[in-house]
Amino acid sequence: MSELGRCERRHRKISRLLFAGLIVVALASSLVHQLLPASAADSRRPELVGWVTDPLGEPVQNAEVSMYADGMKEPIAVAESQGDGEFALELPEVPFETLSVDVSRPHFHSQTWSPTPDELELLRQGATIRLPDITMERRITLGFWVATLTFVGMLALIALERLHNTMAALLGAAIVLGVSSVGSPLNPDLFILDFEQALQYVDFDVIFLVMGMMIVIGILEATGIFQWTAYQAYRLSRGRAWLLAIILMILTSVASAMLDNVTTMLLMTPITLEIALVLGINPLALIIPEVLASNIGGISTLIGTPTNILIGSYADIGFADFLINLTPGVVLAQTALTIYVLVVFRRQYREVSGGLSPAMLDRLRENGRITRPKTLAKAGTVFVLMLLLFIFGEQIHLVPAVTAILGAAVMLLVVDTDIQEMLKVVDWTTLMFFIALFMVIGALQEVGLISLIAAGIKQLVGENLNLALLVIVWSGALLSGVIDNIPFTAAMLPVVGYLTRTIPGASSKVLFYGLSVGSAMGGNSTLIGSSPNMVTAGIAERAGYPVSYVAFLKVGLPATIITVAMGTIWLLIRF
Amino acid sequence: MGRILCPTRGGEGSYRTQDAAIAMAKERGDELVFLYVVDLDFLNKTERAVRPDVVAEEMRHLGEFLLGMAQERAHNQGVDAAYVLREGDVQAEIEAAALEEEATMVVLGQSAADDPACAFAPESLLRFAQKIEAGTGIETRVVC
């Protein structure tokens, strides 16, 4: 081996060790942060403390609270409300006769509070006074309409495929931030949110979990494991197409739950097409059931679908929680789906003819082999350990994002791959999509659209948890068929969060599970309902088997109704 | 002896075009070359992370499988056919392949199940055939 080659290998090893070291430090920091007690702030000055809420009783963050003395124009103290709506105004050492407190925030009507003479006296004596809760009334501003129309426009651009999802989300974020920055000096009502606020809405748990899983999946998918399992399904079925369909549905469902349904379908579809051609049946009779099963299977784990990643992070639902609370429902839905598929495609399954030459069978066998067995053995072991860490890691304060990054780092180390190459598998387009999406949803929360929707649903369902569950599941299923379920789910999270806090019995997080079931299973109803549907149709079309919107709808819509019904029944039983 | 280039996507919808190309090759005593173009444009329809290199590899396997089937189809009709696999924009690659393979004729076909928006729909197919002829000077026939 040349000196140059040895240097390169050493450089790679050092890079990997540095990367792993960074992860270990991040992990240790995360654990230490969890274990250290929070230090309480000491204040010896008299204070005015209070809470700011919106009309729904939700805390209002970043409200500016200003204290004025004796009618002066300049405030003598200023504070901002925190995440829980609390603020504390420290009284400075200045003489005063009267005091007033103004609470203001964009998209709300300002509020003023003045202490009584008794309260003033108490403050002079150094006491701290707790103000009555301040409820700020919402104000529909021009910014409200800009943010709402931007979100609707973004959804339309994605649904009509006029722009790539990431481009549409970035455009949305640029509009709300641009209008806020440039428009608000001209008309303050155009303010939506500033960049600092927008960043606060970005859920970095989601970003790092998605990034970690990208690396893990990137390593595993290049091993040929998907293709091998599909080929084994073909062998196991011994030419019986109905049995092959069942096995493939189970395989795609499990793979989607453990990894990702888009990756699963991207790698399973080509080999499934080849198997169908070997059997002499229409490939769509195998591919469509596969993609339907894939969309459902992903629901059962935290990492199975992007919507679950969003839900899990927002509602603090862990890997094990999804597994326990949704897997039986998924099994129920898959069973019903299998029966439905066997009925719908019964004719195609009877048309097995075969007839391809041994050379073509050899080619199929060649395409269905594991290409990197050593990598698979190492990466597979790490992946199993990673799954265990996902399940049990919460007990040692390991958040899923840290587990994913840890798994990715260890996998990079043991697989001995080129880190530069592997880091290329991190799809920044996808990460940008999530970041921009969070900002747009943040804008909707700022202007009050989310509160309006939450109040509307609350008015509709009242205190009835079962009714709320039905509304969330079925509206999610319906809307996910026509709009991208990721922005839909992201927008619904605060709504479901509000309903969870206000409806008796909803603290079990059943409504979040309902959102997961509705948004993921609903994607089966139309061709554009989910990403796996579209990439699968894209591959089939390139093999001469185009899937039309109507053809998919005819199979997908009844399948959605059946499976969502099963999912709903399970949630009603479980909770 | 000439050389016929027949771009194909495989599948039942393409059999008619393949058969026409096979018949022409047989009648004229020409060589026959099937072409499959790996086009990953569909990956733009997802906001999810994918590895284009791994997907491209799978699509190459699929393409070779479909080309193998076309080759076998020709063989069963008494014609020995070769095949070419390319990657990129379908129309651009067909034109490039026609020149590189020194084709004397290109045979295009419309898949039976194509949708109107597809590149191989009748009107766009005829326009594409004219474009190939104008750009390369190679005779291009459309099978309908």
A443-500 tens-digit pLDDT? 999 999 999 999 999 999 999 999 999 999 999 999 988 888 889 999 999 999 999 9
Report the share of chain A in percent with pLDDT over 70: 92
Residue of A nearest to B41 (CA): A538
Q: Is the pLDDT of residue A32 over 70?
A: no
Which band of pLDDT confidence, cut at 50, 70 and 90, is reported for residue A40? very low
Paired tokens of B65: 């499988």
Taking the Cβ of residue A47 and every Cβ of chain B, the question of whether any pair is shorter than 8 Å is answered with no
Taking the Cβ of residue B86 and every Cβ of chain A, the question of whether any pair is shorter than 8 Å is answered with no
The pLDDT of residue A123: 84
The pLDDT of residue A8: 59
Closest CA to B143 of B4, B37, B41, B49: B4
CB contact under 8 A, A359 and B111: no
Taking the Cβ of residue A539 and every Cβ of chain B, the question of whether any pair is shorter than 8 Å is answered with yes
Mutation pick from B16, B51, B114 vs chain A, by most beta carbons of A within 10 Å, is B51
CB contact under 8 A, B54 and A538: no
**Chain B CB contacts of A531 below 8 Å:** 45-48
Name the strand (E) or helix (H) holding A180: none
Q: Average pLDDT of A389-410?
A: 91
The pLDDT of residue A415: 86
List all residues 6 or more positions away from A299 whose beta carbon is below 8 Å from its beta carbon.
A257, A305, A308, A322, A326, A329, A330, A516, A517, A520, A521, A567
Tell me how close the Cα of A367 comes to any Cα of chain B, in angstroms. Answer: 7
Report the share of chain B in percent with pLDDT over 90: 49
d(CA B10, CA A273): 11
CATH number listed for the domain at residues A47-135: 2.60.40.1120
Q: Are B144 and B122 in contact (CB under 8 A)?
A: yes
Q: Is the pLDDT of residue A80 over 90?
A: yes
Q: Average pLDDT of A361-380?
A: 90
- Please state, in angstroms and as integers, the Cα–Cα distance from residue A326 to each residue in A102, A320, A400, A507, following that order: 48, 10, 18, 16
Q: Average pLDDT of A316-343?
A: 96
Max Cα–Cα distance, chain A, nearest Å: 99
Backbone angles phi, psi at B72, to 5 degrees: -65, -35
Residue labelled with tokens 């050492």 = A93
CB contact under 8 A, B50 and A262: yes
Paired tokens of A352: 């097995």
CB contact under 8 A, B48 and A306: yes
**Chain A CB contacts of B61 below 8 Å:** 270-271, 274, 367
In chain B the beta strands, taken as DSSP E runs, fall at 3-7, 31-38, 81-87, 105-109, 139-143
Question: Higher pLDDT residue, A172 or A354?
Answer: A172
Which band of pLDDT confidence, cut at 50, 70 and 90, is reported for residue A15? low
Burial class (CB in 10 A: 0-12, 13-18, 19+), A264: buried
d(CA A373, CA A573): 43
The pLDDT of residue A5: 57
d(CA A88, CA A130): 9
**Chain B CB contacts of A361 below 8 Å:** none
- Please state, in angstroms and as integers, the Cα–Cα distance from residue A105 to each residue in A56, A66, A136, A184, A291, following that order: 16, 11, 9, 14, 47
Mutation pick from A542, A547, A552 vs chain B, by most beta carbons of B within 10 Å, is A542
CB contact under 8 A, B66 and A217: no
d(CA B130, CA A255): 46
Q: Is the pLDDT of residue A73 over 50?
A: yes
Which band of pLDDT confidence, cut at 50, 70 and 90, is reported for residue A25? low
Could you report the per-residue pLDDT of A116-142, keeping only the tens digit for each?
Answer: 888 888 888 888 889 888 999 999 999
Beta strands at B3-7 and B105-109: parallel, antiparallel or unpaired: parallel
Could you report the per-residue pLDDT of A508-534, keeping only the tens digit for each?
Answer: 999 999 999 999 999 999 988 888 898
The pLDDT of residue A37: 47
**Chain B CB contacts of A279 below 8 Å:** none
DSSP letter at A92?
Answer: P
Which band of pLDDT confidence, cut at 50, 70 and 90, is reported for residue A12? low
Could you report the per-residue pLDDT of A257-276, keeping only the tens digit for each?
Answer: 998 888 899 889 999 999 99
Length of chain A: 575
CB contact under 8 A, A531 and B14: no
Taking the Cβ of residue A354 and every Cβ of chain B, the question of whether any pair is shorter than 8 Å is answered with no
Closest CA to B34 of B112, B121, B107, B104: B107
Which band of pLDDT confidence, cut at 50, 70 and 90, is reported for residue B13? confident
Residue among A363, A364, A531 whose CB faces B46 most closely = A531
Neighbours of A319 (CB within 10 A): 23
Burial class (CB in 10 A: 0-12, 13-18, 19+), B1: exposed
Residue among B46, B62, B113 whose CB faces A534 most closely = B46
The pLDDT of residue A17: 61
**Chain B CB contacts of A429 below 8 Å:** 47
Q: Average pLDDT of A53-66?
A: 90
d(CA A117, CA A41): 29
d(CA A302, CA A494): 19
The pLDDT of residue A252: 95
Report the share of chain A in percent with pLDDT over 90: 63
Paired tokens of B50: 């994918």
Taking the Cβ of residue A219 and every Cβ of chain B, the question of whether any pair is shorter than 8 Å is answered with no
Tell me how close the Cα of B117 comes to any Cα of chain A, in angstroms. Answer: 11
Across chain A, mean pLDDT equals: 88
Q: Average pLDDT of A75-88?
A: 93
Q: Average pLDDT of A332-358?
A: 89
Cβ contacts below 8 Å, chain A against chain B, sum to: 130
The pLDDT of residue A355: 66
Q: Is the pLDDT of residue A2 over 80?
A: no
CB contact under 8 A, B44 and A548: no
Question: Higher pLDDT residue, B122 or A213?
Answer: A213
Taking the Cβ of residue A165 and every Cβ of chain B, the question of whether any pair is shorter than 8 Å is answered with yes
d(CA A432, CA A428): 6
Residue ranges per structural domain of chain A:
47-135, 142-200, 205-574
Q: What is the ipTM of this complex?
A: 0.85
Domain that residue B90 falls in? 3-143
d(CA A221, CA A256): 12
Q: Is the pLDDT of residue A221 over 50?
A: yes
The pLDDT of residue A44: 64
Residue among B13, B41, B49 whose CB faces A430 most closely = B49
Question: Higher pLDDT residue, A7 or A207?
Answer: A207
Q: Are A75 and A68 in contact (CB under 8 A)?
A: yes
Q: Are A212 and A404 in contact (CB under 8 A)?
A: yes
Residue of A nearest to B76 (CA): A357
Q: Average pLDDT of B3-21?
A: 89
CB contact under 8 A, A356 and B69: yes
Q: Is the pLDDT of residue B126 over 90?
A: no
List the 502-521 stretch of A: residues with Cβ below 8 A of B: none
CB contact under 8 A, B11 and A548: no
Which band of pLDDT confidence, cut at 50, 70 and 90, is reported for residue A176? very high
Q: Is the pLDDT of residue A28 over 80?
A: no
CB contact under 8 A, B47 and A535: no
The pLDDT of residue B53: 84
Q: Are B140 and B104 in contact (CB under 8 A)?
A: no
CB contact under 8 A, B54 and A221: yes
Length of chain B: 144
Burial class (CB in 10 A: 0-12, 13-18, 19+), A224: buried
Mutation pick from A268, A541, A548, A552 vs chain B, by most beta carbons of B within 10 Å, is A541
**Chain A CB contacts of B65 below 8 Å:** 273-274, 277, 360, 363-364, 367
Which band of pLDDT confidence, cut at 50, 70 and 90, is reported for residue B47? low
Question: What is the SS3 assignment for A71?
Answer: coil
Q: Average pLDDT of A412-425?
A: 78
The CATH code of the domain that includes B134 is 3.40.50.620
Q: Are A575 and B75 in contact (CB under 8 A)?
A: no
Query: What pairs with residue B6 in β-bridges?
Result: B34
In this structure, of A311-315, A358-362, A525-529, the range with the lowest mean pLDDT score is A358-362
Which band of pLDDT confidence, cut at 50, 70 and 90, is reported for residue A39? very low
Q: Are A442 and A197 in contact (CB under 8 A)?
A: yes
Q: Is the pLDDT of residue A11 over 70?
A: no
**Chain A CB contacts of B42 below 8 Å:** 534-535, 537-539, 541-542
In this structure, of A29-38, A440-449, A541-550, the range with the lowest mean pLDDT score is A29-38
Work out whether the CA dihedral A264, A265, A268, A270 comes out positive or negative: negative
- In sequence order, what DSSP letters do the residues of A430-482 get, joined into one string? HHHHHHHHHHHHHHHHHHTHHHHHHHHHHHHHTT-HHHHHHHHHHHHHHHHTT
